[in-house]
Each structure stands twice: as structure tokens, then as C-alpha cells.
Amino acid sequence: MNHLLPLALKSAWNRRYTLSLTLIAIALSVTLLLGIERLRQDARAGFAQAISGTDLVVGARSSPVQLMLYAVFRLGEATQNLGWDSVQALAAHPAVAWTIPLSLGDSHRGYPVLGTTPAYFKHFRHGDKQALRLAQGKPFAGLFETVLGAEAAQRLGYRLGDRITLAHGLGDSGLTEHGDKPFTVVGILARTGTPVDRTVHIGLEAMEAIHLDWQGGAPLRGLTIPPELVRKFDLTPKAVTAVLVGLKTRTGVFAMQRYLSNYRGEPLMAVLPGVALSQLWDMLTVAEHALLAISALVVAVSFAGLVAVVLAGLGERRRELAILRANGARPRDLFTLLALEGSAITLAGAVTGALLLTALTAALGPWVEAHYGLALRTALPSPEELQLLAWVVGVGTLASLLPGYRAYRLSLADGLTPRV
């Protein structure tokens, strides 16, 4: 075995141009396979870290997954809001420690606007129960003040003191703006790797103020209320999109969930964030498996190419193999030689693919996070990725046995007198 490995490497080097193409194909397929696995893991981790320390997410009765998507991840729209009276009743419940009302529906240059209260900066947690931290400035206190998420501030180039106007509705074009009521940037949050980074935060009263002269999703004709006069009106919210709830003791979470399910004021729903996220991933399991299956097929095609290249090269190497036999090489030595060549190419392709994935993650990671809010790890392969690499090398080694068996079957006479 020790004397065959250098021989296999030298033989592969002599055919380096042909085998290099096969190695590149294997490396690219491994990059795709590991990339999908890493994307799946990082997406799950990112979703799981978007919210922590919150016992219940409360909203109008709908789908638990839908409630989580628009309340936490700012995806989609709420079909119905819950009334402010219900929010106050929930906050006054003896089992409730704190509440964070959330009001969504407006945007600024494609970034969602979130109306909330100062409790958001005090009680909201992400990741491993990490609190929000301001990189610059302070939380909003005045009516027309706003705090930007890190990504929104960076991408749009805003600094403290800049003035911005909000738009009615979600999207980045074709929306009517609240141009008569601009906001001043008073704070920029530190990066969290969650939807908070892509959010523009204002107060609930400010959300009401910019809609005083609106009705039915459109501005009232002939009526404009200047910013300096809005405080003469009642700015108490009439409804919010959802409420984040923290309980005094987590043991009462199911009792509170039943209480809200039977709430008589209006139909409400309370979901446990972890349970709703599990349901979300159960829905995406089929898509995950489909992507992994496609990647596995790409790897299989690469191995088929490897086998085809080595088998095609046997016709040109029959005399080489015959000379080895004439110099005392046994049939099993030829078998081992060809198997070692294929295994070496597979191993080199797997290592190259893993290194290529690391390089691509380091290069494209910031862009992916900026555009899609997904933080990709630039680290050593995870145990799941190492298991996939082991499978790739194992399958590649098995695929290399076919050319080795073919070489084993070649006889000395057949090698010295090849067919024409």
C-alpha cells in the first residue's frame, strides 16, 4: 500500500489536465451541497435568534405561523388588528410582567416601520436573551423622532439629526408619503443580525399622528393637519398589529394562552414563539429535503464523470498496467492503484469544495446579510457538514472501485497485445 500511493499520485499528475476538470466538478458540487446545508442551518439559527425572552406573541386570531412572520420577521401583512382596549386589559392582567405593543403597516424606502413604546428598548431580547443596544444616540422621546436599525441606517446612509419621511403601506415604490410630517433620526441601534436591523422605529402616538388626516388608506382631500397641531388631538392608538408579552412566571404560560383564547372582548390568539417556529420549519422541511436531494444528485453526476474519465483512460493505460504486471504487480495492486487515484481526487475535491465555501461565505456574507438579513457563518465545518463530507468521500471511494475492478480484470496478455 505504501509504495502504491506515490505511484497513484504520479499517475494522476501525468493526467492532471483531464483530472483537474473532474476535481473542479467535484469541488463545485461539494460547495453546493455544503452551501445548502450551511444556509439551512444559519437560516434556522437566525430565525431562532430573532426573538428570545418573550413568552407569548398575541394577535388577532389567524395562523400562528402568519402571526410570527409579520409580528417578528416583518414578512407579510396582518389580516386584522387587535383593539387597544384588549392591549390595556392584557397589560393589566396580574400574571403579565410587561407588554410591547407593535404596530406595522408603513415603510420607508422599502424598510418596515414599527410603531411601539419605550418598553420595546427595555424588554425586547434577541439571540441569547441579549438586550437591544444603541450604537449612537438615544431612544425616541419626542413625537416625531425615530430610531433606525443598523442595516437601515447603513444602507440608506443616515446619521443622527437627519430627517426622513415615511410612506403609507409596504414596499419601496408607488407609495404615498406622509411628507408633511417628517421624523428626525435620534438613535441608531447596534447590529443584531435580526429583523430589528431592517426596521425603522417610531412611537405609537407618532403612528397615530401621521394618520390623523388619513382615512381608508388615503389622505383626506382638503384636510391637512400640520405637525405642530397634532398634539391637540387624541393620539391614543385605536388598534395595534400584535403584542409581545412577558409573564411574571413562565409556569403560567399555558393558563394565559387559554385565557386569551377564550377572551370575550374580541377573538385573540396567543402563540409560543418556539412552537410557532417549529411549525414554520415543519412546513419548510419538504423544500429543505428537495434542495439537499438536488445537491446530492449534482454530487452523483460529478462522481459519474470521475468514473467515466478513469474508465476512458484505461484504454490508454493498458500498456502501462501491463508493464506494471510484468514488473511484479499483482492484480489486486492494480485494483488498489486505480481505487487510490479515484479516492485521492475525491478527497482533494471535497477539501477544495469546503475551502471554496469558506471563501465565498467570507466574501458574500456581508452582502447576503445586508440584502436578506441572513448572517452566514465563516467558520470551520459544523458536525453536520463534516458528516456530509464523510459521505462524499465514502461514496467517491466506492465509485472508484469500478475502475479498479476493471483494471483488476485486465490480463497481462491483453495489456501487451491490445485490441484494435
Query: What are the structural domain ranges in the chain?
Result: 4-47+284-416, 56-271
What are the strands, taking DSSP E only, across 190-305? 200-203, 214-215, 218-219, 239-240, 242-247, 268-271
Please report the sign of the dihedral spanned by the C-alpha atoms of residue 244, residue 120, residue 141, residue 97.
positive
Find, among 277, 308, 221, 360, the residue nearest to 68 by Cα. Answer: 277
Are 178 and 225 contacting, i.e. CB atoms less than 8 angstroms apart? Answer: no
- Rounded alpha-carbon distances, angstroms, from residue 316 to 10, 64, 102, 418: 16, 64, 72, 10
For residue 146, what are the β-bridge partners?
185
Count the residues in the chain. 420
Residue 374's pLDDT is: 65
Residue 412's pLDDT is: 46
Residues of the chain with pLDDT under 50: 1, 411-413, 415-416, 418, 420
- Cα 296 to chain centroid, rounded: 21
CA distance 130 to 52: 8
* 0.75 surpassed by pTM: no
Residue 211's pLDDT is: 83
Q: What is the pLDDT of residues 57-84, one digit of tens each?
A: 999 888 888 888 888 888 877 778 899 9
> Within 13 Å, how many C-alpha atoms sit on residue 329's CB side?
24
* DSSP-assigned letter for residue 198: G
Question: Quick one: cell of 239?
Answer: 388598534
Are 74 and 112 contacting, i.e. CB atoms less than 8 angstroms apart? Answer: yes
Q: Is 306 helix (H, G, I), strand (E, B) or coil?
A: helix
Residue 314's pLDDT is: 61
Q: What is the pLDDT of residues 153-207, one digit of tens each?
A: 988 999 999 999 998 877 666 577 777 889 999 999 998 888 898 899 999 999 9
Q: Is 382 helix (H, G, I), strand (E, B) or coil?
A: coil
CA distance 25 to 402: 19
What is the chain's mean pLDDT, rounded?
A: 81
